Amino acid sequence: MRPFRPATLVVALSLTFAADLSIGAAPLTVAPAAVAQSPLTSGLDKSGMDTSVRPQDSLFGAMNGTWVKNMQLPADKADYGTFTMLDDQSNERVRKIIEGLAGKPQAPGTAGAKIADFYNSYMDTAAIDAAGMRPLWPYLAQVDAVKTRADLMRLMGQWVSFVDLPMGLGVGPDAKDPTVYSAAAGQAGLGLGERDYYLNKDARFAKARTAYVEYVRKMLAAQGSKNAKVEAAAVMGLETKLAKAQWAPEQLRDPVKGYNPLTVAQIAAKAPDADWKDFFAAGELADAPFVSIGQPSYAQAMARLVRSEPLDVWKAYLRAHLIDAVALELPADVREARFQFHGVAMSGVKTDRARWERAVRTVNGSMGEAVGQLYVAEYFPPAYKARMVELVDNLMKAYAQSIDGLAWMSPATKVEAHAKLAKYGIKIGYPDTWRDYTALDVKSGDPLGNAVRAAQFEYHRQVARNSKPVDRTEWGMTPQTVNAYYDPTKNEIVFPAAILQPPFFDMKADDAANYGAIGAIIGHEISHGFDDEGSQYDGDGKLRNWWTADDRKAFDAVTSRLDAQFSAYEPLPGVHVKGKLTMGENIADLSGLQIAFKAWKLSLDGKPAPVIDGLTGEQRFYYAFSQSWREKVRDEALLNQVTTDPHSPGQFRADGASINSDGFHEAFATKPGDKLWKAPADRIRLW
């Protein structure tokens, strides 16, 4: 299920997972005092390094080359790397917690009982197979009941919480008044995920289209269609028309163009071919003062398609997207069809994920904070949080000093930049207030119903607070999530507990590695507030231009060079990184690395860093940064990432940021002729 969320909600560190060292499942129990008495390690997996590659030619290859050569991708993984390894560890830990609850009676109505019932029901594939498509019948009956265009819009509003549909709805902090929640709507509803998959003539995209049509045919046949092949082609035709009207991913990164608050009456006047009043009423937003339409031209085009396309085609589309949304809670033939498309065709994997892993992910997605509360109690020692606070403080100090030293920014804009930095919120580990799941209805033996009700529960929780004050204590990720994020409307950086582990954050490692890894991640998230998108929000989270015209022009001139650098990278033959799509992440990687290096230098307090494993502190810093982006990716998944993901592939994140960093060139004594050599005057420096 992929419900729409307002685009400004969070800017995450990574949307794809990457990996590294072999981490044990047991929590680290060494006390801080004991750690201090032991020799500090380098924090590097030297066995993964490739001594035949010079760091001056490829820092990524030098640090990760042997690991990449020797890594046999797990059959059920589209990619593997540092993030994936920790994600696997987190899932194993959560599995232990959940199965501990599921294996014994729980008090009725408690969060523990709901977690147990959710998990056990999902895991009982024999019962799911025996039930066949019957759990889906009530929803299919709703489709059958659609007789008019108004019925169509009404049903899409009813399903918007749990089915990926052409127009998504959500509620989040308002971009112009971030003290209150407001409603937003935006383009969605493409089974292939992104418009390039429909419009690009490259054979690789054409192959994906063929696989998608076959998947739709199988889904429609499974629910009883006698004309599934023709209907699948019609669904593909409809989605292609939607794709043509949708904005490109690069366009979606403009928060000003994406903020268009309109009353329902105004939306109906601008896009009169659809029954918007019924749609928003069914989506629990009938009384919304306004809804911000993310892509007005698309809303108009979608409305025209609602009016022009045959109702039977729309109904086939609804059935296909419904089945896709709940395929994992349906019989084996549907689950297999889903895997052949999403897994094999789109990601290149060889075998499906283990059922327990999918169950863990589903429970995490539905009751994540209830699970997270137990996770933190067992796996997040207080000493970790204390050490992170120190690191974050040093990064914030370094960022403030960096602002003072900017040659391209005027004094007036520097004052505004300092004001924004001073207002940053910082969240580490886990929320202070845990989410209440009392109202969530979980039934034993009803996996499909549980999944739908969980999605509806979360959607209702959001829309019920429309126009109410923003809860600044809320988290956008669970503690067991291996990731981090910046939220521009709250102007806060957030680091869940699960990412605060080796090799990102190692209590036993020398600080050079910690600053190069987790320090660069901290700097990355801080920098999102000052990237091309985040810099359009002020210290209060308000979408407001606080720049002088000349400063913005100077900033754009620098970022255009970064666009050119990354657009030249070619991870697959004929497929280049999208420099504009990845701009925000590339800025955050570059700035985060440079700020982390300054912060590490400040932490030394003028003392030299020790040499460990024959490497200077400066060298370990950059190696640790490169180690963070260690990954190996299947071609199909890499094509998908480059097409849809605002993050560049790991190799280019490691080398692309380092080549612009003075400290890297000094650490490895680069010179003209080296592949990563870049003359000082040509290095891109932002923050």
Q: What is the pLDDT of residues 22-74, one digit of tens each?
A: 222 222 222 333 334 468 899 999 999 999 999 999 999 999 999 999 999 99
My answer on whether 516 and 367 are in the same domain is: yes
Structural domain that includes position 286:
134-329
Q: Is residue 104 included in any domain, yes or no? A: no
**Domain annotation covers residue 108:** no
141/75 same-domain check: no
Q: Where on the phi/psi map is residue 468: left (φ > 0), alpha (ψ -120 to 50), or beta?
A: beta
pLDDT bucket at 493, cuts 50 / 70 / 90? very high
Band (pLDDT 50/70/90 cuts) for residue 19 is: very low
**Residue 230 banded pLDDT, cuts 50, 70, 90:** very high
pLDDT band at 2 (very low <50, low <70, confident <90, very high): very low
Q: Is the pLDDT of residue 202 over 50?
A: yes
In a domain, 385, yes or no: yes
Pick the range with the lowest mean pLDDT from 22-26, 44-48, 267-271, 574-578. Answer: 22-26
Residues 422 and 501 in one domain: yes
CB atoms within 10 A of CB 556: 11
- How far from each other are the two terminal CA atoms of the chain, in whole angstroms? 38
Same domain? 534 vs 586? yes
Is it the case that residue 129 has pLDDT exceeding 50? yes
Residue type, position 215, single letter = Y
Residue 167 belongs to what H/E stretch?
Answer: strand 167-173
Q: In this structure, are 420 and 493 located in the same domain?
A: yes
pLDDT above 70: residue 122: yes
- In the predicted model, is pLDDT for residue 11 greater than 90? no
Closest CA to 325 of 546, 190, 162, 565: 162
What is the pLDDT at residue 39?
A: 80
- Does pLDDT of 4 surpass 80? no
In total, how many domains does the chain have? 2
User: Do residues 609 and 500 share a domain?
Assistant: yes
Residues 6+ apart with CB under 8 A from 446: 121, 135
Residue range 451-480, pLDDT digits in tens = 999 999 999 999 999 999 999 999 999 999
Residue 226 and residue 264 share a domain: yes
Q: Does residue 83 form part of some domain?
A: yes
Q: Is residue 47 part of a domain?
A: no
Mean local confidence (pLDDT), 197-219: 98
Q: To the nearest 10°, report the CA torsion of 511, 513, 518, 523.
A: 80
**Quick one: pLDDT at residue 166?**
98
Identify whether 224 is part of a domain. yes
Q: What is the pLDDT of residue 12?
A: 52
User: What pLDDT shows up at residue 472?
Assistant: 96
In this prediction, residue 616 carries a pLDDT of 98
pLDDT band, very low/low/confident/very high, at 379 (cuts 50, 70, 90):
very high
Q: How do residues 581-592 score in pLDDT, each as one tens digit?
A: 999 999 999 999
The domain boundary, picked from 311, 329, 347, lies at: 329
Q: Give the model confidence (pLDDT) of 599-639 as tens digits.
A: 999 999 999 999 999 999 999 999 999 999 999 999 999 99
Where is the domain boundary, 290, 308, 329? 329
pLDDT of residue 647: 97
- Of the pLDDT bands very low, low, confident and very high (cuts 50, 70, 90), residue 8 is very low
Residue of 410, 402, 405 whose CA lies nearest to 555:
410
Q: Tell me what the pLDDT averaged over the chain comes to.
A: 94
Which amino acid would we find at residue 38? S
Closest CA to 638 of 594, 573, 686, 683: 573
pLDDT surpasses 60 at 507? yes
485 lies in the same domain as 596: yes
Residues 364 and 282 in one domain: no
Whether 687 and 403 have beta carbons less than 8 Å apart is answered as: yes
Q: Is residue 75 part of a domain?
A: yes
Distance CA 331, CA 351 (A): 17
Q: What is the domain-level CATH number for residue 257? A: 1.10.1380.10
pLDDT digit string, tens, across residues 86-110: 999 999 999 999 999 999 999 999 9
One domain for residues 320 and 363: no
The pLDDT of 492-512, averaged and rounded, is 95
Q: What is the mean pLDDT of residues 665-676?
A: 98
Q: What is the mean pLDDT of residues 496-505?
A: 95
Strands 167-173 and 181-187 turn out to be antiparallel
Answer whether 625's CB lies under 8 Å from 560's CB. Answer: no
What CATH number should be reported for the domain holding residue 421?
3.40.390.10
Same domain, 83 and 142: no
Residue at 463 is within a domain: no
The predicted-structure confidence for 313-350, as pLDDT tens digits, reads as follows 999 999 999 999 999 999 999 999 999 999 999 999 99
pLDDT > 70? residue 565: yes
Asked if 106 and 45 touch (Cβ cutoff 8 Å), the reply is no
Query: Binning pLDDT at 50, 70 and 90, where does residue 6 land?
Result: low
Task: Say what the pTM is.
Answer: 0.93
428's CB contacts (< 8 A; 6+ apart) are: 385, 388, 389, 392, 494, 495, 500
The residue among 267, 256, 254, 263 whose CA lies nearest residue 297 is 267
Instruction: Indicate whether 160 pLDDT > 50.
Output: yes
Please report the pLDDT score of residue 218 as a whole number: 98
* 174 and 231, same domain (yes or no): yes
